[in-house]
Amino acid sequence: MPEPAHEISSPTWGEPDTAAVDRLSAHLGEGGVVTHQIDRGELTIQVAVERWVDVARYLRDAEGYDFLSDLMTVDWLGYSGEVAGYWSSGAFAGKDLNRVGSSGLAAVATAPGPKRFSVSCHLLKLLTVPSGQSRRVRIQAFVDDGEEVDTLIGVYPSADYHEREAWDMMGIPFRGHPNLKRILLPDYWEGHPQRKDYPIGGEPVQFSDDV
Amino acid sequence: MATTERPTKLWPTLEVLSPIPSELSPSTDNPDVLEINLGPNHPSTHGVLRLVAKLDGEIVVGLRNELGYVHTGIEKNLEQKTYWKGITYVPRMDYLSFFTGEVGYCMSVEKLLGLEVPRRAEYIRVIFQELTRLHSHLIFLGTGSVDLGGIALLFYCFRDRDHVLDLFEMVTGQRMHPRYCQVGGVAEDLPRGFEPEARKLVRYLRNKIGEYEGLIEKNPIWRERTVGVGVIPPDFAIKMALSGPNLRASGVDWDLRSANGGYGAYRELGYSPVLAENGDTFDRFWVRVQEMRSSLDLIEMCLDGLPSGPHIADDRKVVLPPRHELHTSMESLIHHFKIVTEGFRVPAGQVYVPIESARGEFGFYMVSDGGPKPWRVRLRPPSFVALESIAAVANGHYLADLIAILASLDPVMGDCDR
């Protein structure tokens, strides 16, 4: 099947701001920006987690990304290979059932980063440009289990709830967060349900001890 | 744009709270400070939100939100469901602006797939997105007026909201949560007789909205309660990532339906956002009332320019084949069976699709690993973010004003807690 040559109806991210990536990487110096990629019109800048706050501060102050759309985490455990395993077996092994309407060669998904979790932010230029020229960018950093990420509250105050949710659901601790408590689940909850190794349907029934 | 042409307005300063941006702790050492719970079962908290307020007399000096009472794990559930089964889950979050959830979810899957949606489907989606916005704003206005002590508007708004839902029922068979949106388009074409009914509703509501506008704009009690209460300056709104009508009430020209050209059929319809100037509680009500007007205009424009053609994309690997083909075509039967049992596969990648729900930026971050189930879906709920700013905004206001401010921010707890 040929590549789709039409307009996708979802909102555009604006022209990918690759010049900003160059400036960001010059500002941060060696090892700050790991890589960047443009996929489906979306610019993702992968950065070192140690420079997480520096990146956000630079993008806000120098590049005008004044609006934190969202902060989210992904658990990439088993993303590529066996666990992801929606790939056909037997006679169909290796068939690319992935692409719509085609059966070419397989292109097994590979995890985009070296570590288990990713923390991403979607930033947006809102007030700093006329609304027809706003741009979005995703910054993404990879962390291991238990590795701390610096809080973004000092740069984007609205990161408060997002970071609490990331701690609650994914168990990623944010260094310097003044109130890192569970937000959606009760305080006594054990584990972080959004993780891929969290058991499904196996939670103990509450209040059933004395029955 | 409009914001740059307007003379600069002097806004009061509203500092982001420190150290916790979403929590107000009392600075006074008055021993008579009283801590009270608003909610979780309190009619004015719009669902199950618990506000822990500290009061000095009647003045709010401390405020903390407790969320999570209606957390149902929708994000986790979506990871266990094939893409097409997930469509039913998302609208259950923001149950007042339900159709936006369906559209946003389908749009993000379409963006991952690179799937084109027929123009007719885009127009139909806009009609129903605007109907659902009307539905949401009508309930907002009704319940908001109850919070301010006016019961009449509630009955009027709920009556009219039922007329909106009648249209949903006519097309989809369901009044709420119709699961009408499909990946690739909409599930069924519009039935005969829809257009006159829709035009009737537009005419009817246009009249009624004028009445409601009068009920709030010319009502001295309403004005006393809302004008100048809970002013949110634009810089604070941006810092706290307020979106949607809450942001536009502060005069920020930002609406995803028009920003960067918009999305879907909004691109062709050319929408220009409704802006207010003062950012107070009155303006947040006013913006929504005016938005109902522009929703009616958009519906009318869609009805006028409704393109002919298919209502759903013709990609048999993704879209269910037409029902009648199942009786005659073996291939269609197989496709139907495969899509229903196994689901369709979506190319690996990550996308973020923000769309304008009745409450603001409703973002869908979706990661696919190439299989028939999403690897991760993150839903950016506008209510969740809006609730962060309430502590700073309500600081120093009366308790009764806290209720008004909360009502004007229009949080839906299902949306907030997911």
Structure token digits, residue B203: 């005419």
Asked if residues A15 and A45 have their Cβ atoms less than 8 Å apart, the reply is no
> Is the per-residue pLDDT at A10 higher than 90?
no
pLDDT on residue B69: 87
User: Can you give the pLDDT at residue A121?
Assistant: 92
CB distance A72–B380 less than 8 Å? yes
pLDDT tens readout for residues B244-289 = 899 999 888 888 888 877 888 888 888 888 888 888 899 899 999 9
User: Does A199 contact chain B (CB < 8 Å)?
Assistant: no
CA-nearest residue of chain A to B114? A4
Q: Kindly indicate the confidence band of residue B150, based on its pLDDT and cuts at 50, 70 and 90.
A: confident
Pairwise pLDDT comparison (A83 vs B144), residue with the higher score = B144
Tell if the CB–CB gap between A109 and B355 is shorter than 8 Å.
no
Q: Residue B7: what pLDDT?
A: 55
Residue B314 confidence (pLDDT): 83
In 3D space, the residue among B2, B105, B65, B60 whose CA is nearest the CA of residue B388 turns out to be B65
pLDDT at residue A99 greater than cutoff 50: no
Give residue B339's pLDDT. Answer: 84
What pLDDT band is residue A34 in, cutting at 50, 70 and 90?
Answer: confident
In B, minimum Cα distance to A6 occurs at: B116
Q: What is the pLDDT of residue B129?
A: 92
A75 CB contacts (<8 Å, ≥6 apart)? A116, A117, A170, A194, A195, A196, B376
Find chain A residues with C-beta within 8 A of B68's C-beta. 182-186
In a 10 Å sphere around its CB, with 0-12 CB exposed, 13-18 middle and 19+ buried, how is residue B409 labelled? buried
Question: Mean per-residue pLDDT for B67-90?
Answer: 87
Mean pLDDT is lowest, of A91-100, B4-13, B184-193, for A91-100
- Supply the pLDDT for residue A202: 55
DSSP for residue B237? H
Predicted local confidence at residue A210, as pLDDT: 62
In which residue are the tokens 């609650």 written?
Answer: A168
How far, in Å, are A118, A188, B246, B259 from residue B361 at the CA level?
23, 32, 11, 12
Quote the tokens at residue B308.
């002919």
A11–B355: do the CB atoms touch at under 8 Å? yes
Looking at residue B128, its pLDDT comes to: 92
pTM here is 0.87
- Residues of chain A in contact with residue B116, where contact means CB-CB under 8 angstroms, are 4, 6-9
d(CA B374, CA A86) in angstroms, rounded, equals 11
Nearest-angstrom CA–CA distance, B254 and B259: 6
In the structure encoding, which two tokens stand for residue A172, read together? 């990623």
Question: Which phi and psi angles does A116 have, rounded to 5°?
Answer: -75, -45
Q: A2 to chain B: nearest residue by CA?
A: B114
pLDDT at A83 exceeding the cut of 80: no
Determine the residue of chain B that is closest to A106 in CA distance.
B370
> Residue B371 corresponds to which amino acid?
G
**A30-38: long-range contacts at Cβ-Cβ below 8 A with a sequence spacing of 24 or more?**
none
Task: Say yes or no to pLDDT of A108 above 60.
Answer: no
**Range from A39-53, A119-133, B227-241, B244-258 carrying the lowest mean pLDDT:** A119-133
Q: How far apart are CA B29 and CA B44, in angstroms?
A: 29
Please give the residue that has the higher pLDDT: either B81 or A109: B81
As a residue count, chain B comes to 418
- Residues B203-218: what's their mean pLDDT? 88
Domains of chain A, each with CATH number or no CATH: 1-76+114-159 (3.30.460.80), 77-111 (no CATH)
Angle, CA B245 vertex, CA B243 and CA B249 arms, to 5° = 105
Structure tokens at B164: 């909106």
For chain A, give the mean pLDDT: 77
Q: What is the Cα–Cα distance from B112 to B183, expressed in whole angstroms? A: 11
Cα three-residue angle B195-B275-B264, rounded to 5 degrees: 45
Contact yes or no for B363/B380 (Cβ under 8 A):
yes
Lowest mean pLDDT among A9-13, B32-36, B331-335: A9-13
pLDDT tens-place string over residues A61-80: 888 888 898 998 998 877 76
Closest CA to B292 of B383, B125, B160, B409: B160
ipTM: 0.87
Residues of A in Cβ contact (< 8 Å) with B185: none
Compute CA B115 distance to the chain's CA centroid, rounded to the nearest angstrom. 25
Residue B287: count of CB within 10 angstroms of its CB: 25
Contact A124, A70 (CB under 8 A): no
Q: Per-residue pLDDT for B175 more than 70?
A: yes
What lies within 8 Å, CB to CB, of A173 at 6+ separation is A146, A148, A149, A167, A180
* A88 inside 8 A of chain B by CB: no
pLDDT > 70? residue B295: yes
Once rounded to an integer, what is the mean pLDDT over residues B121-149? 90
10 Å CB burial of residue B213 (0-12, 13-18, 19+) is middle
Residue whose entry in the numeric block shows the structure tokens 């689940």: A185
Interface contact A186, partner B, CB < 8 A = yes
Answer yes or no: are the C-beta atoms of B156 and B212 closer than 8 Å. yes
* Chain A residues touching B70 at Cβ < 8 A: none
Place of tokens 């408590």: A181
Most A-contacting residue of B66, B72, B367, B384 (CB-CB within 10 A), to test interface? B367
Judge whether B149 and B271 are in contact, CB under 8 Å. Answer: no
Q: Please tell me what DSSP assigns to residue B8.
A: P
pLDDT at A109: 61
Question: Which residues of chain B have a CB within 8 Å of the CB of A101?
Answer: 315-317
Which of B93, B107, B181, B260 is the best mutation test for A, with the most CBs of A within 10 A? B260
Residue A12 has pLDDT above 90, yes or no: no
Percent of chain B with pLDDT over 90: 22
Task: Give the residue-averaged pLDDT of B237-243.
Answer: 90
Sorted by where each starts, the structural domains of chain B and their CATH numbers stand as 82-380 (1.10.645.10)
Dihedral sign from CA coordinates of B95, B99, B104, B109: positive
Q: By percentage, how much of chain A surpasses pLDDT 90?
A: 15
DSSP A10: S
Which pLDDT score, from 0 to 100, does residue B47 have?
A: 76
What's residue B5's pLDDT?
52
Distance (Å) from the C-alpha of residue B109 to the closest C-alpha of chain A? 10
pLDDT above 70: residue B163: yes
Shortest distance, CA B307 to any CA of chain A (angstroms): 16
Compute the mean pLDDT over every residue in chain B, rounded to the nearest whole number.
87
pLDDT the model gives residue A131: 67
128-157 in A: which are within 8 Å (CB) of B?
130-134, 136, 138, 153, 156-157
A84, A122, A156 ranked by CB distance to B369: nearest? A84
Q: Minimal Cα distance from A111: which residue of B? A: B369
